[in-house]
Structures are given as structure tokens and as C-alpha cells.
Structure 1
Amino acid sequence: MFSPDETHTKMPEEELLELYQESLDLPTAGSIIKGVVERIEPEEVYINVGFKTEGTCKTEELKDSKGNITVTIGQEIEVYVEKANYKAGIIRLSRKKALELLVWNKLEKAFKEKEEVKGKILKRVRGGLEVDLGVPAFMPSSQVDLKPKRNLDKYIGRELLFRIIKFNRKKENVVVSRKVILEEEQERAKKELLDNLEEGKIVYGVVKSITDYGAFVDLGGIDGLIHLADMSWGRINHPKEILRVGQKIKAKVIKYEKDKEKIALGLKQLKEDPWNYVYEKYPPGKKVKGKVVSVVNFGAFVELEEGVEGLLHITEMSWKKIKNPKEVLEVGDIVEVAVLDVNLDQKKISLSLKQTQENPWNTIALKYKVGERIRGKVRNITDFGAFVEVGEGVEGLVHLSDITRKPINHPSDVLKPDMEVEAAIIALDPQRQKLSLSMKDLEPDEWDNFVAKHEVSDILEGVVKRIADFGLFVLVSDGVEGLVHVSEISKAPNQRIERMFK
């Protein structure tokens, strides 16, 4: 240690030395200067800093991580003056401190002027990430991206651009943000997009979110909506059938409200409306294949191509009567149908499945003639008669009066569902698809038999079947009824016949 006297005598000498060096404009301690490498020794590197003076720097500071010397003789480098005594010829230099000081100067300038700096993300730390800018910097997790990210590990090792948002050189504290840069880029992109946007323009974006009614697409700082109805010319039930979050897509601007910043997009508008060529592709009478996409109570909808569907009515599904379309078709079935009609104004196509099959009425007309016998099964019974199926898709009507020669009150008195019967054809019209049958024509004619066995004045016995004001209906033989008029009945003047016969 020095005594007070020694310190007092030394200080003026140092001050005089510094004043001398300053008068000569020589580099002083704490400054950064340039020098040329003259010699490289194991422990020190000699650097010519001018003024016929050499300074020394530790060799270790000029090695890379593998221990290799990073400078060559004759190379000019920047160094930090740690100590300078030109009178004694002692100049101690530091390459490491020079680099650090240069970095701090650069970062301070970038902070003041809001410039971007490049750095490498090194590792995760509490609350965010550590970034190497030449000196350690901290980036909070909230400043990593436009939205908070749970997985920060994917950023480690990446070289990115940052904005310094906090800077304290004295405390060596640097806080950076990537989010600020991204927000500015987004805002620039948004402005450029809005300035150049117009209806009909093709744009590119990324699907941001999907709802039941559509999908929102990020166009670069602003979102556009693709409504479900504008996604496809064909039938879709939910946007997820054709889109997924994160998918890059191309779309057309179909509506743009600049003042509200509302953008309506369309996918199907990228293609021409298929109905423009429907009549040429699907004229009436043409047979085409399609896919059943919906089955309802009154029929089924068949997709002929994307955006073009036709109605297959239940009456056109089969030549035979069906109660439910699901008896014939299911969603997903591939069917061949015939085009019946095309209405371009209403965008409707009528289709037929049975027209692609052989008409059973033509077959019946070729096989049977009026008067011939035919067999069938009772399918439906009504108050006025019964319908008999004589072939697939062909039913004939047996009227109540043609069921039997015997008097009956209802067809069910004789017929039951699914009963097999034989009848005679009394009328056949394949064009109108009408067939009239008679079962009684195949029964013996009781009237002919009765007339052959009896004459006028024969006395008969019978059963009273009905009583009317004008007389009695009497069954005198199977299938034969006779009328006994009231004038032929012996009775008192005021006597009523319904009291005489029960």
C-alpha cells in the first residue's frame, strides 16, 4: 500500500501524463481504436496502433471456440484501450471489450432510432426466451408472436429480426420484441391489400377459423368470410367437408365494403356456373348416371355433377307402387336415370328411374288380350273394389260389381289381402296404364241356369233378403234374386210389410 505522501506525489504526475497524451491527440484508456496486427505470440498479439507505438492484446481473446486464431498478420482490427502510458511505452488492448462496446453502441443507436436488430434465440428462460444480440437480451413470451404461443421451443436456434423495447446500458438490460415488427408488417400488408382490393379480384389467404355457416380467411392483416353457400356449386353440409384450419387457399372477392372493412369471398366463383351448360349436357330423354345425395318423403335428389342436381320423384322410381323412396334408394347409390325435363330459370331437372327400365305395361299388352284369364295377388282393398297385382308394376282393378255374381256389401266379404285370384281381362289400356278385371265373369251364370230350370207360374220358395217400401227382395237360388212387389202381397189396408216379414 502507498502512504499518503506517496499518493500525493504520484497523482500530479499521472494527470500531467494524461494532459500530455491529450495534447498529442493520442488514444486514451476507454476508447476504441484501430490497429494492425504485427506479431502473434503464444500469449500476446502485438498490434501497431500508430504513433510508433505497439499495443498488446491477449492471444486468447483472438481465438474462436475451437482455439483457432481469428486474425492474421497485417490485418486491421478494432481494439479497446484498457491502459495507455506512451511515455513508458505501455498500451494494454482488448479485442473482447472492443467487440462488446461496439455491440452496445450499435444496440443503443438501434433503440433510439427504433431500428431492427438481428439476433439468435438461444434458450428458454423464465417468462420468455434468451436472445443473443452480441450481448444477452430477453424476449418476453408475450412478444414472441402476434398471438401467445404455448410451445416456445420451436423458436430456439432461429435467427430473427427484433425491435429493442427496453434498453439500460448501465444495468446491461436489453428487452426485445418480435411482435412489434410483425404487427407493423401486418398493418402495412393490410393497408396495401385494402388499397388494391376490388370485387372480382383473386386473393390468397390462410383459413383462420371455421364455423357452421362458413370460414374466416386471413388475407394478411384482415379477414374475409367465405359463406357456406359460396364454397361449392355442389351440395355440402359443413365447411369442414372441404376446408381445414391452416389451409392455404385461393378465393375470389365477391363483395367488398371498404368503409366497414368487410370482405366476402367465394370459392365456387373461381369456377363457371355448371348450369350454363346444363341443357346441352342433359337434354330431355338422355340417360345419365348420378349419385343419390338426399332421400326425402316425396323422392330423391341425384347429383349429376358438382352443382347440378335433379329430382327423382317417388312416382318415377319404379313401375310398381312404393310407399317410401328408401325402399328403392339410399344416399350414396349410383343410379342411371333418364332426364324428363329441364327448367333453366328455376334450375330444376326432373329425372326418372323407371324410364330406364322395361315398361311392364307393354309386356302385359303383348302377352294378354281382352277376354283372357290372368292370375294375380290382391294388394289393396277399397270400398269400391280391389287392386290385383298381375305383374311387377302392373295392377288391375276388380270393381265391387265384378267380384261375384252373388250380392255382397263390401269387397272384403270375399277377398283378403295377398289372396291369389283369377280374373278375366275386360279392359286394357297400356298408354293410360289402366287394367279392368272381372272375377264374376269366370263364375257360372246362375241366371242362365235358373231360366233353364223354371217357367212362368212356377211356385218357388225363397229367403227375404231386403225389404223396401215397394216390396220384397227374395233370394230364390244362388245368385238369383226376385222382387215381390207390394201389390202382390196379401195384407190389411193399414198393415206394413216390414212387420209381416222379418
Structure 2
Amino acid sequence: MTNQLKFKDLENQQSSKINITPGAIIKGTIIAIDGQFAVVDTGLKSESRVSLKQFSDVSGNINATIGDEYEFLLETVDNGDGVTILSREKAIRNKVWDELSKAFKAEEMIVGKVIERKKGGFLVDLGSVTAFLPGSHAFTKAVRENPEDLEGKEFSFMIVKMEKRRNNIVVSRKLVHDKENDGDRKELLNSMKIDDVVTGVVKNLTDYGAFIDLGGVDGLLHITDISWKRLKHPSEVIKVGEELNVKVLNHDQDNNRVSLGLKQMVEDPWSNIDRRYPPKTKLMGKVTNMLDYGCFIEIEDGIEGLVHMSEMDWSNRNIHPSKILNLGDEVEVMVLDIDAERRRISLGIKQCKQNPWLSFSEDHAIGDKVTGKVKSVTDFGLFIGLPGGIDGLVHVNDLTWDENGEEKLKEIKKGDEMTAVIISLDSEKERISLGLKQLEDNPFDEFLTSHSKGDRVVITISTIDDGKLTGETTHGLPVIVKKLASDFSANIGDHLEVYFMSYDRKLNALAMSLSEIKHKATKYTKSNQGSDSSATLGDLMKKQLDK
């Protein structure tokens, strides 16, 4: 009994030297192999049985030898049946986590093997621990590798994130590349100077430009610095993987930013442009863009000019470009104006064709009669179509001698064929004035040549209304008296003596007054017409009567 107590005390004393807290790492020796289990002695009261699978290597080979000592994680000291449960796998995993944690804190690189592709990235074996490699951190070269190029291969990684409780580790291959190249990057940036020519590979294309790998440093080639001509996307000129010689436009060492230029490698096409294309030069160009107000024509690589809608067609100043042109069309244009400083060229298409306004003015003179169909009717008159696709305006005041022009205008419709007299021509301003009433003699001519302002005239009253009256002269010319005294009294059909004031073109009537006019004007004569050949007869009469 005494010997048994001594042995028990010795056993307890031996156990007390071992940390028997669940989760502790303890050492044990394989004392026997029993089927698929290794019998392990850890110095505790009972021996433990550990599956031989926990002693297998990456290839699946069992490395368990009697007499060898290993580390185990103590899961349970006594599971109720007097058995101590150990785990070789968890001990290894704990050890790996400890080593990875030290590397993470020290920002050291680790080695792992890409074993499987997953959504958004890859799984990496770090030795008993699996980490996740995001796709954004998987590639390092200027030209992207294919995902299959990574699987099954070992690489160096940097740990980005660790959560042991959730068994989560995130690694990066890109950070390794950045760290290894950090020194080279600083050296490259320090050696760069503005206007240096450097060689790089197109790494990526975006809507606003391209990123160029200069050997550890990425430079931005903005879309406006790719070509002198207008681009919608960088892919029109360059492609990923292409090697380019570019010029350094600017670089910021503090932020590792480099601005590059490709178009600066060739001469600016706008240099001496005004010498190459003086005004009135005719040349062929290509339609590159169409807008509501005009279109752009490329006349050489990197040089585009605007053809405003008013410079497209002689007969229609507001025509939309799509009505006569298509993208890619080759058209003849004329240089109208160049602003080299603002990089703007004004071009014209209609100037390369015969000017119908000039042709018309060469074939016709003021006073000639022309016939055409009414193209449109407006509040102020109507337009008659003329040879060459142009048109002339008949103002409402030049429609008739006998009645209100606005009333006459209501009788005219689009498509009516009409003959008119040319009363003014201005080919430079593209204006032609026509008249219908000028086809007949002016019934007011005789009266105006024989009467002066203030002369007495006898009229017959036609209407009396709202403080004014209308009537006729003895020769049937319309008369209007606009202001009647409140005590005025007369009847329709009465003869009334009034005083001549002026000729009212708008009302096409003689304006009279009931009061005598003290200051009289000279009579209207053809010698008073002046030499203004563009004025209508009515204009000349108004000019004379307003003296």
C-alpha cells in the first residue's frame, strides 16, 4: 500500500511538470503503431492514440516512426473514459499561425502554393493553413498573366489580413512585387526629367487614357496626349501590350505620378498651318463628327475644321448636316478662316459650288419680272422660289396698292405660282426683294405729284367709327382721318373738306387732317427719288413725304 502511494505521488509529480491545460502544446513520443493509429506517450497518466493520417506529408506519405518525438495540441486530458485526446494537425496549424503572425507583424514575405481558383481569386496553401489571394492582388506583370498560369506554382506573398478566430488569411502577390521594385521605382523617378523620352508597355486602357508600365512605375498617357487628332477612345490608336516611346510631360515624386505624351513625339500639325492653308484654299477632307450646328472635317492627320450649318448649302442656311452628309464621307471644302492660336479652322462646303445668288444677280436686274411658286407664307410676307434653289421675299407692304397688305396675304397659299418684280438685289447678303404691286402703276403717283402736305382735298365719307373716319377722293383713292373732335358731326356719304398729310404705306391710304396745316412741304417729283436703286417706290414716297 505504501509503495502504491509512492508511485501515485511520483506520477502526479511528473504530470505537474506538464501543462495540461486544454489547447496547450506538449511533446510526446510514439511508442507503438497499432493499425491506423500511433500510440503516444506524453508523460501523462494515460497513453493517447493519434490517427496516422495526422503524420502524413503534402504527398500523403505517413511519417510516423516509433521512438520519434512530436508536438501535439492537448485537446482533452480525460474524456470520461480515462483517455487523453491529442491532435498533431492542430499543433502544426498553431505553430504555422504563430510563424505567420510574426511575419505579418514584421511585414516579411512568406512562401505559398496556389492550389485552386475560386470566385474573385485563388486559394493558397501556406502549410496546414489555407489563405485567400484576391484577383486584384494576384498579378504583377505589365501584361496580365492568365489565371491558369498561377495554379500549381509557388510564389512569395505578403500577408494583408489575419483573423485566427475566423481562420481567415488574405495574401497579396502584388505587394511583393511593389516592395521588391520600390527601390527601383524611386531610383527611376529620381532620374526622370521633363521632356525625357522613355520606353514603356501599354498596361491598361480606359476611357480617359492609357497606363504605361515604365519598369516598376506606371505613367498616365491621357487621351488628349495620345494623338493630335480627336479620339473617342485610346484603342483607336494603341493597344494593350504595345511598346511605345513616350515623352515625360510631368512627374510627381511624392505621389509616384508620371504624365506622359505620345503626340509630343511628332511635330505639332498646327505649326505654320496658316501658311499651308491660306484662305480660299480648296481641298478634300473626311467627315469625322456631326453636330446640330455643323460638322467637323479632317483635312489632315490631327487637323479638323468646322463647317457651320450656314456654310453647307446656298439655298438653306439652317440645314442639318445629316441631310446632306454621312460620317466618313470625303468632301471638298474651302478654307474660310484660321485661328492658329485657338486651333480653329472654319471651312465651307457651299463655297466649292456655284453661288446661285451671284448667278441670279448676274442674269437679272432690278425691275425684271420673275415667276415662281410660293415656298412659304409668314406674318411679314411671302417667299417665292427662284432659279438655283434660292428665294426672294415679297414684303406685306409690297403686295397691293388697293387694300391692306395683311388682308391680301391671307388669300395667298403655299404652292401658288406668282409673278413679281425685282425691287432690290444683294448677292453678298443673299437677299432678294420682290414686289407684286409694282407690276401695276401706283394709283397714288398722280395725286402725290400734284399735291403737297397741307393742300385742301374734298372727300366723300365712307365710314365713321371709334374717333376716325374713312373715305375716298374724287378719283377713288382711299382716305383716312384718324383723330376726330368729340363734337364732330357728319354722315356717311357727306362731302368733307380735309387737308392732305401723308401717304400711309401700311394702310395703303392717304392720311388727312381736319385741321389746316401751316407748314407745307414741297411737291413729290420723280427728281426727288434719289439714286437708291434698292428702295421700293413706297420707300421713296415715304422718304419724300417725311421731309
Question: Do the two structures share a fold, i.e. TM-score over 0.5?
Answer: yes
TM interval, shorter chain, is: 0.5 to 0.7
SS of structure 2 residue aligned to 1:225: strand
Asked whether 1:339 is paired with 2:327, we answer no
Amino acid at match of 1:378: V
* Corresponding position of 1:313: 308
Asked whether 1:425 is paired with 2:422, we answer yes
Superposition CA RMSD, Å: 4.6
Asked whether 1:234 is paired with 2:237, we answer no
Asked whether 1:435 is paired with 2:425, we answer no
Asked whether 1:203 is paired with 2:198, we answer yes
Deviation at 1:476, TM superposition (A): 9.2
Deviation at 1:331, TM superposition (A): 3.3
Asked whether 1:148 is paired with 2:134, we answer no
d(CA) in 2 for partners of 1:265, 1:314: 37
2:344 equivalent among 334, 344, 348: 348
Amino acid at match of 1:258: Q
| Aligned 8 A contact 2:464 2:470 in 1 | yes
- The 5 A counterparts of 1:344-423 are 344-410=340-406, 412-423=409-420
Deviation at 1:269, TM superposition (A): 1.2
Relative to structure 1, the CA distance from residue 324 to residue 141 in structure 2 (aligned partners, 3 Å threshold; closer, same or farther) is farther
Deviation at 1:339, TM superposition (A): 0.8
Q: Provide Cα deviations, 1:17-63, integer angstroms capped at 9, x if missing partner.
A: xxxxxxxxxxxxxxxxxxxxxxxxxxxxxxxxxxxxxxxxxxxxxxx
* Corresponding position of 1:116: none
d(CA) in 1 for partners of 2:342, 2:252: 30
Relative to structure 1, the CA distance from residue 309 to residue 420 in structure 2 (aligned partners, 3 Å threshold; closer, same or farther) is same
- The 5 A counterparts of 1:158-173 are none
Q: Provide Cα deviations, 1:382-426, integer angstroms capped at 9, x if missing partner.
A: 443222221235322212232123302415323223332111223
Deviation at 1:473, TM superposition (A): 2.1
Relative to structure 1, the CA distance from residue 476 to residue 300 in structure 2 (aligned partners, 3 Å threshold; closer, same or farther) is farther
- The 5 A counterparts of 1:63-74 are none
Amino acid at match of 1:420: E
Asked whether 1:285 is paired with 2:280, we answer yes
* Corresponding position of 1:472: 470
Relative to structure 1, the CA distance from residue 261 to residue 413 in structure 2 (aligned partners, 3 Å threshold; closer, same or farther) is same
d(CA) in 2 for partners of 1:362, 1:298: 25
d(CA) in 2 for partners of 1:359, 1:294: 26
d(CA) in 2 for partners of 1:485, 1:262: 85
Relative to structure 1, the CA distance from residue 405 to residue 256 in structure 2 (aligned partners, 3 Å threshold; closer, same or farther) is same
Q: Provide Cα deviations, 1:92-134, integer angstroms capped at 9, x if missing partner.
A: xxxxxxxxxxxxxxxxxxxxxxxxxxxxx9x9999679xxxxx
d(CA) in 2 for partners of 1:323, 1:433: 14
| Aligned 8 A contact 1:292 1:333 in 2 | yes
Deviation at 1:257, TM superposition (A): 1.7
Structure 1 residues without counterparts, runs of 5 or longer: 1-120, 130-136, 166-176, 451-460, 487-492
Deviation at 1:261, TM superposition (A): 1.8
Structure 2 residues without counterparts, runs of 5 or longer: 1-112, 140-144, 159-171, 448-458, 495-547
* Corresponding position of 1:481: 477
d(CA) in 2 for partners of 1:342, 1:164: 59
Deviation at 1:475, TM superposition (A): 9.6
Deviation at 1:203, TM superposition (A): 1.7
Q: Give the alignment's TM-score, normalised by structure 2.
A: 0.52
| Aligned 8 A contact 1:371 1:424 in 2 | yes
Amino acid at match of 2:384: V
Amino acid at match of 1:400: V
Give the fraction of aligned pairs with identical amino acids, expressed as a percent.
34
